[in-house]
Amino acid sequence: MSSGTATAGRKGMAFGELAPGVVARAKDGDEEAFHLIFNRYGRPILSFINHLVQDRDLAEDLAQETFVRAHRNLKALREEARFSTWLFGIARNVVYEASRQARRDEKHIPLDTPESQRLESKDLLPEGMMRDRELNEAISRALATLDDDKRTVFSLKIFHEKSYEEISEITGYSIGKLKTDLHRARAEMRRRIAPYLAERA
Amino acid sequence: MNCERMQPELEELFYGELDARRALELRAHLSGCEECRGFEAALAREMEVYSRYPEVEPSAAMWDAIRERIHTEESTPSPEYRSRWSFSLLAGWLLQPAVLRQAAGALALIVLSVSATIYFTSRRDGGNLRTGVQPSPVADPASTPAPDPVQVPAPDAAGTSALLAAGRPAPVRPAKAKQLTDDEMIRVQVGRAEREYAGAIRLLDRAIAERKQQLDAGVIAQYESSLALIDDSIAKSRRAMRQDPGDPAARQFLLAAYARKVELMQEIALR
């Protein structure tokens, strides 16, 4: 069984951990410490938001709002060890608020793959890279078809490797609900990317 | 075991979320089940694909934008916070014992000075004021109960003495006070009243400055326009008094303009 492979990787390899005391320094108003926090979490938070809204520019605006709110509320954070969960929770709330606001304003938050993320010059790419990009586009499109709850838990579990407990804390969902959502999301994603997987195999 | 129904648990096993006892049972099953091993292999391929799905890199400007917003927030409290802050600051400031004492003192002095001035003015003008202008109850010595001399504030002793003088035998004044002519006395009283009004205006001005952000822009505009008119009246009355220091109308206008200014400012400060 390769369960170790799944939990090892992306999170641990892609990002270093914050040095102890950085969050405490940021809480005391140290801007450099908050910059370190941004360097550590800017990418995962922006990616998480982008998974949810599927719009690069909007994702950046909402990620900005997430960090500003985090800075504003940093003093309320009790357990530094739970900083990542706390920050993802803020990001999720920011996205949901924006989504509600957009519905009220009757704006359309695009869920289809935006033009900016589509391939513009496939012919110039090596074959392997082209297939990767096609696959990534297929993943983006498949993500966009999931409903909000499934997309959230799928992103947190698959791309950000959060535990059930952490996902529950971030989203407020019960473990039972998120397990069901996650299983259904995996199945839907699997079905949508299966042709690309078969091609790769 | 029904292999299809085991898929959610196999996923949990793959992602390390299954409890140890159940994980052992599933591993035992996997060793003898080709279908489940196939599912496990498919999960591994999926995971490999997902792990290559690119993350989004923040733009170079993102941190600068966040930092700018943080700095802006730090220097400008949120509207809700600012509103509460201004209100509590104003309330706190107004309730400070020193401010209350100053305000009460200033108002008492104004009343006494204005009363004294009007009394002197009316006496000098042979009662013209009483007939020409509606008398203030405070200013009219006949209708004002005589205050207890013990309670008279020392700084305004001259004005109060003037008030006390009405309707009773003239008190024995210190020799120095007797040397002042009525005109001089009036000028002293007007000057004192002006200073006292100016003190009250300063206090009110501070209170209004704190409160301005809470007030409607239309109210502020109207207030400022009225204030400009009153200030203009004050300036004109002063000019008239400089030209003719004994002009009772100029004195009256000046003090009335000050009274109106204080009244207007109080109205805005307490709005």
Residue A117: the pLDDT is 47
Q: How far is CA B82 from the centre of its chain?
A: 11
| Residue B23: domain span | 7-51
Q: How far apart are CA A62 and CA A68, in angstroms?
A: 10
Q: At what angle do helices B182-211 and B79-95 cross, to 10 degrees?
A: 150
| Better-scored residue on pLDDT, A122 or A48 | A48
Q: Name residues whose C-beta falls within 8 Å of residue B191's C-beta, 6 or more positions apart in sequence.
A: none
Domain assignment of residue B134, yes or no: yes
| A192 within 8 A of A142, measured Cβ to Cβ | yes
pLDDT (tens digit per residue) in A126-138: 566 667 788 889 9
pTM reported for the whole predicted model:
0.54
Q: How far apart are CA A200 and CA A132, in angstroms?
A: 9
pLDDT (tens digit per residue) in A147-194: 999 999 999 999 999 999 999 999 999 999 999 999 999 999 999 998
Q: CATH: 1.10.3720.10, 3.40.640.10, 3.90.76.10, 1.10.1740.10. Which one for A7-110?
A: 1.10.1740.10
* Per-residue DSSP letter, B126: T
Domain assignment of residue B239, yes or no: yes
* Residue ranges matching CATH 1.10.10.10 in chain A: 114-201
* Minimal Cβ distance to A157: which of B8, B15, B56: B15
Q: How confident is the model at residue A9 (pLDDT cuts 50, 70, 90)?
A: very low
Domain assignment of residue B137, yes or no: yes
Q: How far apart are CA A111 and CA A51, in angstroms?
A: 10
pLDDT (tens digit per residue) in A60-108: 999 999 999 999 999 888 888 889 999 999 999 999 999 888 777 765 5
Per-residue pLDDT of chain B (271 residues; tens, 9 = 90+): 678 778 888 888 888 888 899 999 999 998 989 989 988 888 888 888 898 898 999 998 999 999 999 998 877 655 544 444 444 444 454 445 554 455 556 666 666 655 555 555 455 545 443 333 333 333 333 333 333 333 333 333 333 333 333 433 344 444 444 566 666 666 777 777 777 777 777 777 777 777 777 777 777 777 777 787 788 778 777 777 777 777 777 777 777 788 878 878 877 777 6
**ipTM of the prediction:** 0.81
Q: How many CB atoms lie within 10 A of CB B109?
A: 21
Between A and B, how many residue pairs show a Cβ–Cβ distance under 8 A?
Answer: 108
Separation in Å, CA B224 to CA B214, B221, B228, B270: 15, 5, 6, 16
CB contact under 8 A, B70 and A135: no
Whether the per-residue pLDDT at A15 is higher than 70: the answer is no
Residue A67: the pLDDT is 97
Chain A positions in Cβ-Cβ contact with residue B45 (cut-off 8 Å): 197, 200-201
Q: How confident is the model at residue A36 (pLDDT cuts 50, 70, 90)?
A: very high
How many angstroms away from the CA of B15 is the closest CA of chain A?
6
What is the DSSP track for B87-122?
HHHHHHHHHSHHHHHHHHHHHHHHHHHHHHHHHHHH
How many folded domains does chain B comprise? 2
| Partner A contacted by B256 (CB < 8 A) | no
Of the candidates B9, B51, B46, the residue with the CA atom closest to the CA atom of residue B30 = B9
Q: What is A114-201's CATH topology?
A: Arc Repressor Mutant, subunit A (1.10.10)
Buried b (16+ CB within 10 A) or exposed e, A115-152: eebeeeeeeeeeeeeeebbebbebbbbbbbebeebbbb
Whether the per-residue pLDDT at A38 is higher than 90: the answer is yes
Q: How far apart are CA B53 and CA B50, in angstroms?
A: 5
How many angstroms away from the CA of B51 is the closest CA of chain A?
6
Helices and strands per DSSP (H, E), number in chain B: 12, 0
Chain A positions in Cβ-Cβ contact with residue B56 (cut-off 8 Å): 43, 46-47, 50, 56, 59
Answer yes or no: do B45 and B115 share one domain: no
Residue A24: the pLDDT is 92
Q: How confident is the model at residue A146 (pLDDT cuts 50, 70, 90)?
A: very high
Domain assignment of residue B111, yes or no: yes
